[in-house]
Amino acid sequence: MTSNTGDGIPRRSPTATHWGNYEVVTDGDGRVKALEPAAYDPRPSPIGRGVAEAHHAPNRITQPMVRRGWLEHGPRYDGGGRGTDSFVPVSWDDAATLIATELDRVRETYGNEAIYGGSYGWGSAGRFHHAQSQVHRFLNVLGGFTSSVGSYSAAAMEAVMPHVIGGGPWHAVEQGPLWREIADHGELVVSFGGLAAKNAQANSGGVGRHRSVDAQRRCRDNGVAFVSVSPWRSDADAALEADWIPLRPNTDVPLMLALSHVLITEGLHDADFVRRCCTGYEVFERYVLGRSDGVVKDPDWAAALTGVDAATVTALARRIARHRTVINVSFSVQRQDHGEQPYWTATVLAALSGSMGRPGGGFAAALGISQTGVERERHAVASLPQGHNPVETFIPVARVADMLLHPGEPFDYNGRRLTYPDIRLVYWAGGNPFHHHQDLNRLVSAWQRPETVICHEPWWNPLARHCDIVLPAATMLERNDFAAGKTDLSLSAMHRAAEPPGESRTDYDAFTAIARKLGVEKEFTEGRTADEWVEELYERTRDRLAEREVELPPFADFWASDRGHLVTPPLPDRPHPFRLLREDPDAHPLDTPSGRIEIFSRTVADFGYDDCPGHPVWLEPREWQGEARRRYPLDLISPQPANRLHSQYDHGPHSRAGKVAGREPVTLNRADAEARGIADGDVVRVFNDRGACLAGAVLSDDLRPGVLALPTGAWYDPADAAAGGLDKHGNPNVLTRDLGTSRLAQGPTSGTTLVQVERYDAPPPPVTAFEPARTRP
């Protein structure tokens, strides 16, 4: 393997990112000049435009750093100033010694359970240099760690859907219809949470060719109609010509229940399918008709909650019954209070519709997100083995602040009664909790509790500023690897295009140095260099595919090819479980206790959770209760940004070009803005009892009145890092509530947030999110 080492020769090197494949253009000095989209990608993402300049940004960390307070006073249970303190540069040998000594101290004093190695986040693409795999492998070699389960993206779905349709946490996503099936057989797609084209830019692990948007448009060309149920008109690609139903946030379930009411009372529901292929329908029918609680879930009832008039609800239900229909739910609708309910209710609606188990119809999860719906699966690709974690303690991933603040306290999760561990050391590599976690002011307080926090980071982002020891990490452009994205058929080479600046190292080299200090280098590396591991994983993949009679070129040929990219053949289509269920439920049962779709789940009912009973229900969000709605009359949604992946490369020019007044843009309905004297481009203050942030106003008629849209991912930038409060940059998670969806999933509820907004008339403080941390020799 070769790299551009500044030998005076300009080069083009292939690489892969979560948002697509590119050629990295470097000059003769080895400096990255640009990322140009791969020629074979029909719809490349513009996010790559922001990488080259960010690669050389002034906030790059180029040597190991230790927080001054930690270095002078040692580990402390109150953190002692994370987020406010300055940093001291140290040598790699000193940094490795400090980390090794601290890991030994914590393990010997408190046990491995006291180490939290969640490291949740996408990091960068690559089968070997996958940060979370690296840190988990390292900690497992040392005897294990407290881990996390679930995701911030889809925790509620991951917990509830195995009870409803069986399978694993992501089975619901894997079993939906493909776009080509919808184009050939479908007639209508009703999408709760929309189908925003921007959400198809990125795919976990990489995407060689962006095909989702074109696949959706082919459906429209073939006569498939689309309905987008979302507060924001732009949540559907304009080319789909989707009918827009602008419902109030958090009311998807009342709408679904009212649609079910129409289907049932007008005799339009698929009575044969629910009788043969489902269990518990009678319980659901009694609930919808109001016989169990006295509340009839009809369109008039739903209209008062959703803001969608009853005639529209009735007409949509009849349309669903007349056509081969896909009921699609985005991830966003389950990142809400009681987020288990939209997915469960949508499954029942699909079962009633008459389209479940028929080609091009039925239930779908996350169609239009990443590459979902393009392929159902891909051939298995080898990844870095993480080893065995003997520590059984875990938390639901979004409960990290609760864990740090309440050690020893019990909590419920998916039928189990568990206890939060007493975490003394956090080791983080890949991901940014100060992006994806809710109620950041609360997280900042919780983050002070561990005695030591260690991270690997390329730039001074909010995570690095809140750590005790920071190791400078090489980026995806500074190491060799290969990528393979979820359900994507591509294998893509990632050539090292530039040398890591200063003393930056790969995660693997950093962990190897620490493992050497701890006497476990052989166990961690297995005697291989990083490049040898990359070749080993490719050859393991090659061997696996050969068993399926798929021939890949030897690694040397793959690596030397001009394109650095190959496409594996699709896997043969397997009979769809819902289609087989419809044909013969006794011969083809689902992996549920009944073998059917569980409209009523005895398992969930027996958990005894009042916030997630045994069948789909409407539960008023806890955020709405009391005086909150009067004080904070606006619903805040925090969608994925269009110009970056989560918070990645927010400091790059492509993301920064989308800022308004140097801050994250917040979209307001024009009438709401005018009532508050807010004009386009104004700096505004968005606030509630949990916090406040400044953002740049964008006025629009395409957003439902009473709703604000503030994309997630702006780097957290508190005006006073010690006190919390005002974020200067527009991070919506200073406003969101850190409360689990229910005791079943304990997922994040960022989509249930009430706020107020006002014009900010004082001179706005400067944004400092992208400045380096303070350092002292």
Q: What residues act catalytically?
A: 120, 122
Q: Tell me whether strands 188-192 and 147-149 are parallel, antiparallel or unpaired.
A: unpaired
Q: Tell me whether strands 469-472 and 452-457 are parallel, antiparallel or unpaired.
A: parallel
The rounded distance, in Å, linking the Cα atoms of 210 and 369 is: 12
The rounded distance, in Å, linking the Cα atoms of 418 and 409 is: 8
The rounded distance, in Å, linking the Cα atoms of 614 and 617 is: 9
List Cα–Cα distances, 577 to 276, 480, 581, 705, in angstroms.
15, 40, 6, 41
Q: Does residue 623 sit in helix, strand or coil?
A: helix
**454: which residues sit within 8 A by CB, 6+ positions away?**
99, 102, 425, 426, 427, 428, 467, 468, 469, 470, 471
User: Cβ distance 566 to 553 under 8 Å?
Assistant: yes
**751: which residues sit within 8 A by CB, 6+ positions away?**
249, 250, 332, 333, 335, 336, 339, 637, 638
The rounded distance, in Å, linking the Cα atoms of 651 and 408 is: 39
Structure-block tokens of residue 81: 């100033």
Angle at 451 between CA 519 and CA 732, to 5 degrees: 115
Sign of the Cα pseudo-torsion (275, 277, 279, 285, in order)? negative
> How many CB atoms are closer than 10 A to CB 111?
16
The rounded distance, in Å, linking the Cα atoms of 244 and 241 is: 9
The rounded distance, in Å, linking the Cα atoms of 450 and 469 is: 13
The rounded distance, in Å, linking the Cα atoms of 682 and 761 is: 9
User: Cβ distance 243 to 226 under 8 Å?
Assistant: yes
Residue 741 host element (H or E)? none
Residue bearing tokens 């991933």 = 397
DSSP string, 365-421: ESTTSTTBTTBS-----------------EEEGGGHHHHHHSTT-EEEETTEEEE--
> How many CB atoms are closer than 10 A to CB 474?
24
Nearest to 194 by CA among 329, 360, 344: 329
Q: Does residue 675 sit in helix, strand or coil?
A: helix
List of E strands, 420-509 = 425-429, 452-457, 469-472, 481-483, 490-494
The rounded distance, in Å, linking the Cα atoms of 14 and 165 is: 41
DSSP string, 154-165: THHHHHHHHHHH
Return left, alpha or beta for 338; rule: phi > 0 is left, psi -120 to 50 is alpha, else beta.
left
Q: Tell me whether strands 243-245 and 225-229 are parallel, antiparallel or unpaired.
A: parallel
The 8-class DSSP code of residue 232 comes to B
Q: What is the largest CA-CA distance in the chain?
A: 79
Nearest to 188 by CA among 173, 175, 199, 177: 177
> How many CB atoms are closer than 10 A to CB 383?
16
Residue bearing tokens 């881990």 = 147
Residue 719 host element (H or E)? none
281-288 and 252-265 helices, crossing angle to 10°: 100
